[in-house]
Structure 1
Amino acid sequence: MLLKLNSSDLQSSPLHSRIVPCGLKVEFTQCFGGKYNGIPYKSLKELGDLLDSLLRLQLRLTDAESQQDVELLLELLLQSDFQQAFIMHRSVAQSMRRLCPPFPLTANAQQLRDEVESVLQSSKHTEATELTGLLMSPRLQALMEAHDCIAEQKLDFETIESVDQDEKTTKLVSLEKTRDMPLGVTVRNEDDRVIVSRVVSGGTAEKSNLLSEGDEILEINSVSVRGKSVNDVHNILSCMHGSLTFLLIPNSQNKISLHRPTVMHVKANFSYDPSDDPYVPCRELGLSFQKGDILHVTSQDDPNWWQAYKDGHEDQKPLAGLIPGKSFQQHREAMKKTITDRNQEFKGKLWCAKKSKKQRNKLLFNPSKNIEHHSEDILTYEEVALYHQSPNRKRPIALIGPPNSGHDELRQRLLSLQPDRFTGAVPHTTRNPRTHEVNGREYNFVSRQSFQSDLAAGKFIESGEFEQNLYGTNMDSVRQVVNSGKICLLCLQPRSLRVLCSSDLKPYIIFIRPSPSSPSHPPLPPQERFSTLLTRGVKKHMPEDVRETVEKVREMEHSYGHLFDAIITNIEQEKSVSELLSLIDKLDIEPQWVPSAWVS
């Protein structure tokens, strides 16, 4: 005979107040979402078996005292606090009995293979020859190499247990904090709760896949953190080393992804120092970088703070760093620019004391409107991809610099040194050819109407008018050089770069920085030359021509520096020519980071 007990029946005490007749079996029915006292029935299987055993025992007992003892036990088993404690104890006990993962006997399988192979070479047995062939097979060698790589890795984490109350309840996790490396977790406060706000790529927490964004931390090594501030939690963790045990309430909305997110590669168009940023969530995890650095963004889950590595630093620094997200950086830079513009507008005016309240309100800026206006001009990151130029289609080389930088002289020097390798684009003009000039050699002679038509179509990289004649460099002329297999050398005005970069020519842009030296001011080291001249107060003591050069260089680097692929300081022409040739040679042997739109 079967007796079904609903949760409402249990609480109204069929087991609390009377003895169940002989031959009855207790079966829990899944009502109220399949839970009893907040615990799913599937988690109470062992409790149910124990309950059934007690009922059977009660039916076989004859004295009243034993019956009373069994009833007390039944009451205890039906209390939710006891049930939760029982389930947690069973889960932890089962986990502690689990065998540790097998550890490798050696991390030198390849070395052993080589030793065995050397011994077998002296043997004349056919089995030795067969075994030698097996050991030398590429697949076995790859297997040995993979084995050694895995064997050298240290076990950074261990799962103690997930304690199943409903589908998400509490989880007990142990992580190993090794080599004074941060765990790679940041937290936030929600009321009195401590919540995991992000898990940083490359850290122990991320590798373990045991901590997730949104998890609530209850205890760390039996130290309660509920009600503690973010700084308090940071201080607690900083004092702990070795094995750390976390008691968590998992975020039920988290779903563990089996695939790593796609990495986005970007070029930084601004410099960033986390030590100067009051908004970075964790200063120790902030990643500093310079304008022009390539960053590999591994996570954009938090739109305000991305996770990234600097190019070439992935192996040196396994833990990803935090960098400002694109929209966040644009927003705060736009706010700065708006406030600066507003302060400049009223600089030196005591308008607050002179204007009425109504008039002052009209002068205040609209944050949303002003920020949207400025955000379009704020450079943050540009998505890039690796590109290897084709042997038969060389990238055009554009030399940029102020009038006295010597960039045109460097171009002429390259043309004369290697005429079979370098050439210039034949310019277009509307003037009539002279006697010795041949169309397509010195100039492409076209009509004014044809020139203006191409100009309106955006075919000219740059153009101008001299003595009522139009001159310009047409993209078709550059493309003709590229198709011939030669390298096209261009000397351009900086304002022409945006047109060139928006084409399909994939230019390589080199900024030629002049040497700002004078008899009274000897040259400074190249890396700090211009910035130091402007910041040390020596600018006002410079000769007029040197001051103009410094200002022009600063302006060009500020407005167009994000388009430069390389910078050469032209102190000695021979050295600059050597540097130019070295950079151009690299294009044939090394892939370069270019805007991703060029590759797609």
Structure 2
Amino acid sequence: MTTSHMNGHITEDSDIEVKNVHLGSPEEPQKHREMGVDCPGDLGSRMMPVRRSAQLERIRQQQEDIRRRREEEGKKQELDLTASMRLKKLAQIPPKTGIDNPIFDTEEGIVLESPHYTVKTLEVEELLTSLKHIQHVLVDPQSQEDISLILQLVQNTDFQNAFKIHNAVTVHMNKASPPYPLISNAQELAQEVQSVLKPSHHKDGQELNALLNAPHVQALLLAHDKVAEQEMQPDPVTDEKIYENVGVYGGETVKIVRIEKARDIPLADMHGTLTFVLIPSQQSKPPPAKETVIHVKAHFDYDPSDDPYVPCRELGLSFQKGDILHVISQEDPNWWQAYRDGDEDNQPLAGLIPGKSFQQQREAMKQTIEEDKEPEKSGKLWCAKKNKKKRKKVLYNANKNDDYDNEEILTYEEMSLYHQPANRKRPIVLIGPQNCGQNELRQRLMNNEVDRFASAVPHTTRSRRETEAAGRDYHFVSRQAFESDIAAGKFIEYGEFEKNLYGTSIDSVRQVINSGKICLLNLHTQSLKTLRNSDLKPYIIFVAPPSQERLRALLAKEGKNPKPEELREIIEKTREMEQNNGHYFDTAIVNSDLDKAYQELLRLINKLDTEPQWVPSTWLR
């Protein structure tokens, strides 16, 4: 409906809505005042000299109906929008600037902190109602899916319990508190300022000095310091009321932990008492993992007093090559916790030992540094070293297909206990430098206990002699067959003498074991790796010489008169064998007296029948 202004009369042209009506008197047609149709009636009556016409009343009634419908639709939209904005605003509330100085929005039921206001929290039911309202408004599939997920979370019992605790803690923590004093020595600072301003001739400085000297300002600063000193003292804490508010969570009491933070501790802008709420977890605790103990054999010596990297030298565990270590924790890959075998009762705490990877890394670094220093040696020294007098050739050589890597970094080897079966005795291997008595010890065992000990029958390519029997003295084979077995890795060791091949095979050792006897072997160190990689489970005993003087006396009894350099060479060879192959040795005996060494050797062999021994775990897999 539209209206036109003609001498104060209104004509009806259409049903289009009228926004405003211009009213004026006939006497002043050029002057009129614009006002809303739904303005108060008394205002209209004061401005209109004549009575309101029927047309105007009908227009006003239509406008009232339109306004009422709009208000009803607006209220519904406003309710949905309010719920949506409420959740959005709750999610966007910034964190508090401090425990004692929280800041809250004044809208949506959250008020600024003040002694005259209380904190209103959102209840779970309100949250559910708001979400359901939003679910009816947002009809697109993605919104429906998102709201469904949120509803599932809110309806979860654990979430509702945590929400209730959050509300209780919020009410407790957001109680109004007075401003916290920054310092308690304002009077002292004022005196320092006065001492600085005293020699000043500047007008502002003199005025400030006079102001600070005023009695009432001095009294104010003194009162401030007294109050601040009391305020900054930690208040006695009682948790009874807090527990009443917080209640329980899943049948367990929520823990309240408070820490009094001094100002010299860097922790953001927080100060005073810091309160932590510890909520018990409702998830079922998994059973503690069974602690696995790993048993390893050390392949190097370690002294924590000489290790600059050990975290605590007092907790470091010293050990020697060959020691069995019980590792109880590898949580720190660099430093394991372990006990030395046999010291569990005397060692109350586990000691620290280098982890395997850490030890390999620093040994590799040490080798690299040593290699970098090698070119610094003079060429003359290198030539002298290369042209050293060649040692006497040995009959047997290691399997050439099994290259031994002298640069291998040795750390630990995992071990397991093994008790040899009564019908399958472990072969006994005697290792040592020449002239140290290992051959004599082996022969004495063979002669004294023929039914218990035996030697493996070697293979050879030479022709059989009249006094020899095949299978008893040698296994006589062709050179082609011998070389074929070499290629197949069947020999523990082999060599060539006077154009004939000789060797000890793995099968010949196994034949002795299958007969129920103990196989005795004298081998060279180069053969140990091949033997240990087989399934024979050898027990390796290192026969070491005594001191140089004692060794001279022992050889003299045998009618030998070695030269000093020969004695030094034996000692040097012993050290070299221990250095390069000591990780293969199960035990060692010192042959300072042949009879005593024989008794000790027999004791070690007998112990294999009565006590389990540590062997590489790979043997038992």
Fold equivalence (TM over 0.5): yes
Confirm or deny: 8 A CA contact 1:400 1:511 kept in the other structure.
yes
Paired with 1:263 and 1:25, the residues of 2 have a C-alpha distance of: 53
Matches for 1:177-192 after TM superposition, within 5 Å: none
Q: 1:263 aligns with which of 286, 293, 297?
A: 293
Q: Look up the equivalent residue of 1:581 and give its one-letter code.
A: L
Task: Indicate yes or no: 2:600 matched with 1:570.
Answer: no
Question: Which position in structure 2 is the counterpart of 1:101?
Answer: none
Q: Deviations over 1:363-392 (max 9, x none)?
A: xxxxxxxxxxx9961111111111111110
Task: Indicate yes or no: 2:454 matched with 1:454.
Answer: no
Matches for 1:124-143 after TM superposition, within 5 Å: none
Deviation at 1:413, TM superposition (A): 0.1
The DSSP-based 3-state class of the residue aligned with 1:476 is helix
Confirm or deny: 8 A CA contact 1:398 1:489 kept in the other structure.
yes
Confirm or deny: 8 A CA contact 2:322 2:583 kept in the other structure.
yes
Question: Which position in structure 1 is the counterpart of 2:510?
Answer: 479
Deviation at 1:573, TM superposition (A): 1.3
Paired with 2:581 and 2:344, the residues of 1 have a C-alpha distance of: 29
Confirm or deny: 8 A CA contact 2:418 2:613 kept in the other structure.
yes
Task: Indicate yes or no: 2:604 matched with 1:583.
Answer: yes
Confirm or deny: 8 A CA contact 1:430 1:471 kept in the other structure.
yes
The DSSP-based 3-state class of the residue aligned with 2:445 is helix
Q: 1:437 aligns with which of 468, 477, 500?
A: 468
Question: Which position in structure 1 is the counterpart of 2:224?
Answer: none
Task: Indicate yes or no: 2:328 matched with 1:298.
Answer: yes
Matches for 1:66-215 after TM superposition, within 5 Å: 75=176, 90=239, 163=255
Question: Which position in structure 1 is the counterpart of 2:111?
Answer: 16
Paired with 2:241 and 2:565, the residues of 1 have a C-alpha distance of: 79
Deviation at 1:518, TM superposition (A): 2.7
Q: 2:499 aligns with which of 468, 483, 489?
A: 468
Question: Which position in structure 2 is the counterpart of 1:331?
Answer: 361
Paired with 1:375 and 1:227, the residues of 2 have a C-alpha distance of: 54
Q: 2:578 aligns with which of 551, 557, 579?
A: 557
Task: Indicate yes or no: 2:349 matched with 1:319.
Answer: yes
Deviation at 1:51, TM superposition (A): 9.0
Q: Look up the equivalent residue of 1:319 and give its one-letter code.
A: L
Question: Which position in structure 1 is the counterpart of 2:123?
Answer: 27
Cα pair distance change 1:510/1:44, threshold 3 Å: same
The DSSP-based 3-state class of the residue aligned with 1:423 is strand
The DSSP-based 3-state class of the residue aligned with 2:440 is helix
Question: Which position in structure 1 is the counterpart of 2:438?
Answer: 407
Confirm or deny: 8 A CA contact 2:431 2:542 kept in the other structure.
yes
Q: Look up the equivalent residue of 2:512 and give its one-letter code.
A: V
Q: Look up the equivalent residue of 1:16 and give its one-letter code.
A: V
Deviation at 1:260, TM superposition (A): 2.9
Question: Which position in structure 2 is the counterpart of 1:539?
Answer: none
Cα pair distance change 1:406/1:376, threshold 3 Å: closer
Paired with 1:336 and 1:583, the residues of 2 have a C-alpha distance of: 37
Task: Indicate yes or no: 2:564 matched with 1:543.
Answer: yes
Q: Deviations over 1:320-342 (max 9, x none)?
A: 22111111111111111111121
Paired with 2:605 and 2:241, the residues of 1 have a C-alpha distance of: 64
Q: Look up the equivalent residue of 1:492 and give its one-letter code.
A: L
Paired with 2:239 and 2:308, the residues of 1 have a C-alpha distance of: 46
Deviation at 1:344, TM superposition (A): 2.1
Cα pair distance change 1:346/1:449, threshold 3 Å: same
Task: Indicate yes or no: 2:308 matched with 1:278.
Answer: yes
Paired with 1:378 and 1:302, the residues of 2 have a C-alpha distance of: 21
Q: Deviations over 1:176-196 (max 9, x none)?
A: xxxxxxxxxxxxxxxxxxxxx
Q: Look up the equivalent residue of 2:534 and give its one-letter code.
A: S
Deviation at 1:248, TM superposition (A): 12
Between 412-421 and 339-348, the greater mean CA deviation after superposition: 339-348
Cα pair distance change 1:569/1:19, threshold 3 Å: closer
Question: Which position in structure 2 is the counterpart of 1:513?
Answer: 544
Deviation at 1:42, TM superposition (A): 4.3
Paired with 1:520 and 1:444, the residues of 2 have a C-alpha distance of: 37
The DSSP-based 3-state class of the residue aligned with 1:308 is strand
Paired with 2:509 and 2:484, the residues of 1 have a C-alpha distance of: 18
Deviation at 1:257, TM superposition (A): 6.4
Deviation at 1:313, TM superposition (A): 2.4
The DSSP-based 3-state class of the residue aligned with 2:549 is coil
Q: 1:347 aligns with which of 367, 377, 386?
A: 377
Cα pair distance change 1:42/1:469, threshold 3 Å: same
Q: Look up the equivalent residue of 2:467 and give its one-letter code.
A: H
The DSSP-based 3-state class of the residue aligned with 1:343 is helix
Paired with 2:529 and 2:521, the residues of 1 have a C-alpha distance of: 14
Deviation at 1:348, TM superposition (A): 5.4
Confirm or deny: 8 A CA contact 2:458 2:502 kept in the other structure.
yes
Task: Indicate yes or no: 2:613 matched with 1:592.
Answer: yes
Q: Look up the equivalent residue of 1:426 and give its one-letter code.
A: V
Cα pair distance change 1:248/1:577, threshold 3 Å: farther
Cα pair distance change 1:571/1:25, threshold 3 Å: closer
Cα pair distance change 1:343/1:162, threshold 3 Å: farther
Paired with 1:310 and 1:412, the residues of 2 have a C-alpha distance of: 36
Q: Look up the equivalent residue of 2:616 and give its one-letter code.
A: P
Paired with 1:279 and 1:248, the residues of 2 have a C-alpha distance of: 40
Confirm or deny: 8 A CA contact 1:334 1:375 kept in the other structure.
no
Question: Which position in structure 2 is the counterpart of 1:307?
Answer: 337
Paired with 1:480 and 1:92, the residues of 2 have a C-alpha distance of: 84
CA RMSD of aligned residues (A): 4.5
Paired with 2:421 and 2:487, the residues of 1 have a C-alpha distance of: 31
Question: Which position in structure 2 is the counterpart of 1:392?
Answer: 423
Paired with 1:557 and 1:92, the residues of 2 have a C-alpha distance of: 73
Percent identity over paired residues? 53
Cα pair distance change 1:426/1:42, threshold 3 Å: same
Q: Look up the equivalent residue of 1:325 and give its one-letter code.
A: G
Deviation at 1:226, TM superposition (A): 6.3
Q: Look up the equivalent residue of 2:105 and give its one-letter code.
A: Q
Q: Deviations over 1:420-443 (max 9, x none)?
A: 110100111111111121110111
Task: Indicate yes or no: 2:596 matched with 1:501.
Answer: no
TM-score (norm 2): 0.54
Confirm or deny: 8 A CA contact 1:399 1:512 kept in the other structure.
yes
Confirm or deny: 8 A CA contact 1:264 1:298 kept in the other structure.
yes
Paired with 1:337 and 1:467, the residues of 2 have a C-alpha distance of: 41
Question: Which position in structure 1 is the counterpart of 2:56?
Answer: none
Paired with 1:497 and 1:50, the residues of 2 have a C-alpha distance of: 71
Deviation at 1:347, TM superposition (A): 2.9
Paired with 1:269 and 1:25, the residues of 2 have a C-alpha distance of: 67
The DSSP-based 3-state class of the residue aligned with 1:284 is helix
**Alignment length, in residue pairs?**
385
The DSSP-based 3-state class of the residue aligned with 1:16 is coil
Deviation at 1:287, TM superposition (A): 1.4
